[in-house]
Amino acid sequence: MATVTHKGNPIHTSGTLPAVGSKAPDFKLTGSDLADVSLANYAGKVKVLNINPSLDTAICALSAKRFDAEIAKLGDTVVLNVSRDLPFAASRFCKGEGLNTIIPLSEMRNRDFGKAYGVAIEDGVLAGLLARSVVVVDKTDKVVYAQQVPEIGQEPDYAKALEAAKKAL
């Protein structure tokens, strides 16, 4: 269990992020087309997991936009935006904002991702959502970077995440 804050109030997550150097936990998430998606769908690519509570919040929207703009500069890299937003809502957000490179994925059907990655919020007003985090996974599915943002209302460290993704290429 990890402790982060929301507007200064402590909240707890279901665990801790996977350790750098460990194998990334597999997952089963729902894509915009309602198909099941797993880590294997992105085999051979560097994966930036932009994990957040909801694209309907300002900071989540900012991080999606920033990663969308930055990832276009890298080859063989995908940004997987993981939340508990419904696939329809996440897809509508991406289309409305002109985001073409991030891939929105939802825990709509299967809630194992939040537990496996230690980011499911267990208590407080955001209980049931995912804590803001970034995990970078290399082409062999090894975790090369992990940041759980200490305050939900804070943006992730884009520079460190993108540097880790570049090194993993």
**Residue among 11, 60, 126, 164 flagged as catalytic:** 60
Which amino acid belongs to residue 73?
K
**Euclidean distance between CA atoms 68 and 61, whole angstroms:** 11
CB 64 within 8 Å of CB 94 = yes
Q: Which CATH class is domain 3-168?
A: alpha beta
27-46 per-position pLDDT tens digit = 999 999 999 999 999 999 99
Sorted by where each begins, the domain ranges of the chain are 3-168
Q: Is residue 127 helix, strand or coil? A: coil
pTM (whole model) above 0.85: yes
**Euclidean distance between CA atoms 109 and 64, whole angstroms:** 22
Enter the tokens of residue 88.
Answer: 């329809």
120-149 per-position pLDDT tens digit = 999 999 999 999 999 999 999 999 999 999
Which amino acid belongs to residue 62?
L
Report the pLDDT value the prediction gives residue 161, as an integer from 0 to 100.
98
Handedness of CA 165, 167, 168, 169 (dihedral sign): positive
CA-wise closest residue to 145 among 55, 50, 44, 65: 50
Report the pLDDT value the prediction gives residue 145, as an integer from 0 to 100.
98
- Based on the residue annotation, tell me whether 60 is a catalytic residue of this protein: yes
Report the pLDDT value the prediction gives residue 75, as an integer from 0 to 100.
87
Report the pLDDT value the prediction gives residue 30, as an integer from 0 to 100.
98
Residues facing 137 on adjacent strands? 47, 143
